[in-house]
Amino acid sequence: MTDARQNRRADAVRDLTARLGHAFARPELLEIALTHASVGEGNERDSRGRPFADNQRQEFLGDRVLGLLVAERLMRDLPDADEGEMSSRLHALVDKAACARAAERLGVGPAMRLSSGETKQGGRRREGVLGDAMEAILAAAYLDGGLEAARAVFDRAWAEELATPMRRSLSNPKSALQEWSLGGGRGLPSYRIVERTGSDHAPTFTVEVSVPGLRPLTGRGRSRQEAEKAAAVALLSREGVS
């Protein structure tokens, strides 16, 4: 990385830190959160000559932290909502598109460390890259300052998402997806379990939804039905269905 690029990225990291509202006692945690796995494919090394740690493990933790923070917020803000309504709202707030939008508003893209190949392919604007990084940042804040620090970052990053009313289509996402797909002549959506993890009494399902002619998407949930709803929400969100 050239000195000019290093300086631009350093400025972007400082700007991002200010927007996050959390002063990291261990700034290396934020650096890990901002390091894409593609960096490990090259020969870049840190100041000690070691390969850079990427953000995949933090993204795993951040996904869980985000789910807790959203569930906590919905319990507070929607005292009269039933489980189904809260579940649909949660899926809309934790999906990769929402995470990527939060990252874009904070300016995460310019602060990321990517391989030159990933950068040339538009990685700093790619939804999956930004969404994963945003979850990793929540994990970094949690590891650095506990749940209060993660909550402070979440409140800032998700303020706009939380203020946006839930689209009518997301109150019953599977039905909405079916109606939209059939109305467009695409046929019925199909769902399949692609992964089941966890213990028998506390499993996590990953389900893929497919609509003819469109790229499939996955969703996760504590039951097959919840994962199917999450996948439907993700696809409706990506296609801009209101």
107: Cα separation from own chain's centroid: 15
- Report residue 106 as tokens: 């904070």
Q: What is the DSSP string of 149-191?
A: HHHHHHHHHTHHHHHSPPPGGGGSHHHHHHHHHHHTT----EE
Is 135 catalytic? The answer is yes
Active-site annotation holder among 31, 118, 132, 135: 135
Is 63 catalytic? The answer is yes
Q: How far apart are the first and last CA of the chain?
A: 43
Residues paired with residue 51 on neighbouring β-strands, in sequence order:
45
The answer to whether the beta carbons of residues 13 and 137 sit under 8 Å apart is no
- Report residue 113 as tokens: 């460390």
* Residue of 207, 215, 221 whose CA lies nearest to 235: 215
Active-site annotation holder among 63, 95, 118, 132: 63
* Residues marked as catalytic: 63, 135
